[in-house]
């Protein structure tokens, strides 16, 4: 299945410079529409590369080559400032209150598959906000992160094994 995609570019970004060494997963806590509205306001000073709705619809807010403002104070792979080297992918809603939908997971896998081989990613380059900003951020819910990371591993590790 191919999920619908829309584009609503956020002003909250830096043009160019994104290394795209992996993906940082978030949840928005708000609805799809409310998150897009927030991300397209300059005063919010926050954005993701992509937002996925409950039905799997994706919204591109920042193009892959640009730096989205999604990580804040963060560190991963021995580096600080994850905005510059991790793409930000968010799920609409709050995974602490409602689990990821099967369409959200499938859409995320589809989005990843368009980039996985080209970017040379492996599962060690997939992380959630909680892990890069411990004690400051709490997304994704631990159980939902386990579900998502298992789906990623099943989808992509099987393809890379000879």
Q: What is the pLDDT along the chain (162 residues), one digit of tens a residue?
A: 699 999 999 999 999 999 999 999 999 999 999 999 999 999 999 999 999 999 999 999 999 999 999 999 999 999 999 999 999 999 999 999 999 999 999 999 999 999 999 999 999 999 999 999 999 999 999 999 999 999 999 999 865 444
pLDDT at 6: 98
Could you tell me if 86 and 115 are in contact, meaning their C-beta atoms sit under 8 angstroms apart? Answer: no
Domain 5-160: assigned CATH number = 3.40.80.10
Provide the residue ranges of all domains of the chain, joining segments of one domain with +. 5-160
pLDDT at 157: 86
Could you tell me if 53 and 3 are in contact, meaning their C-beta atoms sit under 8 angstroms apart? Answer: no
Strand ordering across the sheet containing 22-27: 5-7, 58-60, 50-52, 86-91, 22-27, 126-128
pLDDT at 160: 47
Q: What is the DSSP string of 47-78?
A: --SEEE-TTS-EEESS-TTEEES---S-EETT
Give the pair of three-digit tokens for residue 108.
Answer: 């995320």
H/E segment holding residue 36: helix 32-39
């Amino acid at each position: 299945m191919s999920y619908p995609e829309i584009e609503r570019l956020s002003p909250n970004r830096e043009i160019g410079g994104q290394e795209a060494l992996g993906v940082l997963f978030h949840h928005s806590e708000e609805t799809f529409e409310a998150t897009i509205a927030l991300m397209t306001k300059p005063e919010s000073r926050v954005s993701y590369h992509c937002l996925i709705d409950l039905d799997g619809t994706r919204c591109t807010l920042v193009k892959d080559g640009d730096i989205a403002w999604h990580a804040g104070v963060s560190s991963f792979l021995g580096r600080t400032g994850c905005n510059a080297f991790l793409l930000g992918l968010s799920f609409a809603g709050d995974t602490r209150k409602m689990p990821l939908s099967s369409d959200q997971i499938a859409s995320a896998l589809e989005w990843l598959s368009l980039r996985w081989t080209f970017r040379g990613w492996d599962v060690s380059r997939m992380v959630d906000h909680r892990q890069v900003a411990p004690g400051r951020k709490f997304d994704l819910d631990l159980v939902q992160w386990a579900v998502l990371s298992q789906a990623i591993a099943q989808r992509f590790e099987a393809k890379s094994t000879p």
